[in-house]
A and B are shown apart, each in its own frame.
Chain A
Amino acid sequence: MSFIVLLAVIALAVILYVVARTTLLGMTFRVALKAIASNKGRSFLSMLGIIIGVAAVIVMMAIGQGSKESVRKNISQMGTNIIMVRPGADMRGGVRQDPSSMQTLKIEDYEAIRNKASYIMYTSPEVSSSGQVIYGANNTNTSVYGESLEYMDIKQWQIEEGTCFTEQDVQSAAKVCLVGKTVVDELFPEGGDVIGKTIRFKSMPVRIVGVLKSKGYNSFGMDQDNLLIMPYTTVMKRLLAQTYFTSINCSALTEELTDQAIEELTAILRENHKLKDGADDDFTIHSQAEMMETMSSTMDSITLILVVAAAFSLLVAGIGIMNIMLVSVTERTKEIGLRMSVGARGIDISIQFLIESILISVTGGLLGILVGFGLCQIATGLLGLPTSIPGWSIILSFAVCTVIGILFGYIPAKKAANLDPIEAIRYE
């Protein structure tokens, strides 16, 4: 990528050189270049605003794009065909709900889904809790998920050591569990074999039958390995003494069939709950794909806000350029008068100043892109932020810089063009 940019810069320089050597416009170009070069310090300072602005825009876009890509990757790793059923109506309105409405998902619903749903591959009811888990003198806070065996397939968990609990364990609500890596590290700091050890969760002893393979942190910074998984029957009967589920997780046959699967699930649950036509659902169904869309669009709006903020600095930079150009016009009044006296028209003069301001802003933009590239490397290398520079952001930066050059060069150029030749030439 940086190689391509370098190549583009060289190509641009060669083209500019050839144009500068051969055409009238090129002559004007050379004059503008010379003006910039003869005042390097000042030109650089006026460029600085553009450099910072463009670099900021590029970095913001790159971080936005990079995070979005990494979130998408994370979510799709979790499985894009996952469907979650939650009790209660859609909460997005923020209306407080009757606590009883959170108890609508029952064992009958789970069985109905297993028996009737044709677009569903795996189903697992979920009851969750959180609290302290203890082994000997060590303890840690963790979450407990009561699940069926199929949960392992839905969330693509793998067993690193030991085995999963069995169907038999689910039937008998056996006090067995699978443990995440983090829990193992906290409870057994000196290592050793953990399979068969009995730990306590909320004073209930459970035997470890397997250790889950680590998934690490997700893109929201959450530790995915800090958990216990037990048979859902164990959590329901022995731990919480409740008869309803926190949620039911399913996976559609394929990602494409997610929508049909949701429709089917809705029909099954409505029938099961004996909801009349027109009555609202007393449950909510989300798909992972849908969540991913929501996430993406949230990230997009955050990125947009950041980019707009950075873009404002470009506006300020443009005003800086205009300021410098106005000074430059005043300083070179005599030169302008001289050029006019030998036949330069107003437009020739204004083009000269416009080119100068465009050159400043585009060169600044170019340097800004390079600086942006560098900052992205640093952000990724040192801070571990995911970055990805969208190709169009470079084209956009160029376009914006040219527009800024024209926009903010216009007033000074106009001022120069309107000078009276003899008055200008007498100017001291």
Chain B
Amino acid sequence: MTNQDKTNKKVVIELQNVRREFQVGDETVKALRGVSFKIYEGEFVTIQGTSGSGKSTLLNQLGCLDTPTSGEYLLDGVPVRMMSKNQRAKLRNRKIGFIFQNYNLLAKTTAVENVELPLMYNKKVKAKERRERAVKALIEVGLGDRLEHKSNQMSGGQMQRVAIARALVNDPTILLADEATGNLDTRTSFEMLVLFQKLYREGHTIIFVTHNPEIAQYSSRNIFLRDGQIKSDTYNDNILDAAAALAALPKPQD
């Protein structure tokens, strides 16, 4: 995406000097120290940075899970600070798909039921449709054969994919992923990347936190964080195709 295209696009996310501080005992931890950027509709942004640089804290802000200590976060032009708790809950339910760094699945609950969860809080989706959509999302992440497996009967990678399916099931316009491929082997990571790229092409806005610089090459924009501040923010003019990379991988032998 070039600078000309951007002017035609809608700004989905706008941060204005966002700060987030945590009080730990007597100490104040400054996790975000004045972060400002705009993200346009349909961008695929990766956020990188060392551990503790504030990536998860930033993503929680974007996901309306947390509110800034100071500064303003505008979602579709509306300041999140001004929204009621219920309005934010509705946004999380309809507009945003969130993949947690540590999956956060419901314990002792099957994959399908975990994926159904967001739809449970959407009155418009009836039981039958809810299940159909959950099954479809699980098939998309390659877990069509694990529908009734409970979360404690799955591997880390499988749990991560259930978390991805859960984020996709409400068909969100914004997808926020915190290390969504951190626990996956190369092949499965690429399979997930193919999925994210497909969503990107369909026009979803994706923000993807990762430690892996390789993955950044498959996105349209790369932001680097350091100590709660933006170190660099560059556009990637040469987006690699994940499907091609997947095809080039050596076939698994079984």
Least CB distance, B148 to chain A, in whole angstroms = 15
Stretch at the interface among A118-126, A153-161, A304-312, A333-341: A333-341
Stretch at the interface among B117-125, B135-143, B242-250: B117-125
A38 at the A/B interface (Cβ < 8 Å)?
yes
The chain A residue with its CB closest to the CB of B125 is A24
B211 at the A/B interface (Cβ < 8 Å)?
no
Chain B contacts for A344, CB-based, 8 A: 89, 93, 120-121
Chain A contacts for B98, CB-based, 8 A: 341-342
User: How extensive is the interface on chain B, given as a class?
Assistant: 20 to 34
B146 at the A/B interface (Cβ < 8 Å)?
no
A window 280-326: CB within 8 A of B: none
The chain A residue with its CB closest to the CB of B130 is A27
A345 at the A/B interface (Cβ < 8 Å)?
yes
Q: Which of B86, B104, B108, B127 contacts A21 (CB 8 A)?
A: B127
- B86 touching A343, Cβ below 8 Å: no
Q: Which of A334, A339, A343, A422 contacts B66 (CB 8 A)?
A: A422
Chain A positions 330 through 357: 1 when the CB is less than 8 Å from some CB of chain B, otherwise 0: 0000110011111111111000000000
| Complex Cα–Cα for A343 and B100 (A) | 14
- B85 touching A346, Cβ below 8 Å: yes
A22 at the A/B interface (Cβ < 8 Å)?
yes
Least CB distance, B7 to chain A, in whole angstroms = 33
- B89 touching A425, Cβ below 8 Å: no
A421 at the A/B interface (Cβ < 8 Å)?
yes
| Complex Cα–Cα for A21 and B117 (A) | 15
- A343 touching B122, Cβ below 8 Å: yes
B window 79-115: CB within 8 A of A: 85-86, 89-90, 92-94, 98, 100, 104-108
B63 at the A/B interface (Cβ < 8 Å)?
yes
- A341 touching B94, Cβ below 8 Å: no
B78 at the A/B interface (Cβ < 8 Å)?
no
| Complex Cα–Cα for A21 and B121 (A) | 15
- Given A22-B127, A346-B85: A341 and B63 interface contact (C-beta under 8 Å): yes
| Complex Cα–Cα for A139 and B89 (A) | 90
- B60 touching A343, Cβ below 8 Å: no
- A339 touching B117, Cβ below 8 Å: yes
| Complex Cα–Cα for A99 and B37 (A) | 108
The chain A residue with its CB closest to the CB of B107 is A335
| Complex Cα–Cα for A23 and B212 (A) | 43
| Complex Cα–Cα for A21 and B127 (A) | 8
B19 at the A/B interface (Cβ < 8 Å)?
no
| Complex Cα–Cα for A341 and B92 (A) | 7
| Complex Cα–Cα for A21 and B63 (A) | 31
Chain A contacts for B107, CB-based, 8 A: 335
Q: Which of B90, B93, B104 contacts A338 (CB 8 A)?
A: B104
- Given A24-B120, A24-B123, A342-B166: A425 and B104 interface contact (C-beta under 8 Å): yes
- A340 touching B89, Cβ below 8 Å: yes
**How many chain A residues touch B (Cβ–Cβ < 8 Å)?**
21
| Complex Cα–Cα for A24 and B117 (A) | 11
The chain B residue with its CB closest to the CB of A26 is B127
Least CB distance, B31 to chain A, in whole angstroms = 12
| Complex Cα–Cα for A425 and B106 (A) | 11
Least CB distance, A347 to chain B, in whole angstroms = 8
- B108 touching A345, Cβ below 8 Å: no
The chain B residue with its CB closest to the CB of A348 is B121
B1 at the A/B interface (Cβ < 8 Å)?
no
B154 at the A/B interface (Cβ < 8 Å)?
no
B65 at the A/B interface (Cβ < 8 Å)?
yes
- B100 touching A425, Cβ below 8 Å: yes
Chain A contacts for B105, CB-based, 8 A: 338
Chain A contacts for B65, CB-based, 8 A: 341, 421-422, 425
- A345 touching B60, Cβ below 8 Å: no
Chain B contacts for A334, CB-based, 8 A: 104
| Complex Cα–Cα for A425 and B63 (A) | 14
- B92 touching A342, Cβ below 8 Å: yes
- A345 touching B120, Cβ below 8 Å: no
The chain A residue with its CB closest to the CB of B61 is A422
Chain A contacts for B86, CB-based, 8 A: 345-347
| Complex Cα–Cα for A38 and B109 (A) | 11
| Complex Cα–Cα for A338 and B99 (A) | 11
Q: Which of B93, B108, B123 contacts A342 (CB 8 A)?
A: B93
- B104 touching A341, Cβ below 8 Å: yes
The chain B residue with its CB closest to the CB of A28 is B120
Least CB distance, B40 to chain A, in whole angstroms = 25
| Complex Cα–Cα for A401 and B93 (A) | 34
Least CB distance, A319 to chain B, in whole angstroms = 29
Chain B positions 59 through 81: 1 when the CB is less than 8 Å from some CB of chain A, otherwise 0: 01001011000000000000000
The chain A residue with its CB closest to the CB of B89 is A345
Chain B contacts for A22, CB-based, 8 A: 127
Q: Could you show 28 A-B contacts with beta carbons less than 8 Å apart?
A: A21-B127, A24-B120, A27-B120, A338-B105, A340-B89, A341-B65, A341-B92, A341-B98, A341-B100, A342-B98, A342-B121, A342-B166, A343-B90, A343-B92, A343-B118, A343-B121, A343-B122, A344-B120, A344-B121, A345-B85, A345-B86, A345-B90, A345-B121, A346-B85, A348-B121, A422-B60, A425-B65, A425-B104
Nearest 7 A-B pairs (CB), nearest first?
Answer: A343-B93, A342-B118, A343-B121, A345-B89, A422-B65, A422-B66, A343-B92
| Additional pairs, 12, CB under 8 Å, beyond known A24-B123, A343-B121 | A338-B105, A338-B106, A342-B121, A343-B89, A343-B90, A344-B93, A345-B85, A345-B89, A421-B65, A422-B60, A425-B65, A425-B104
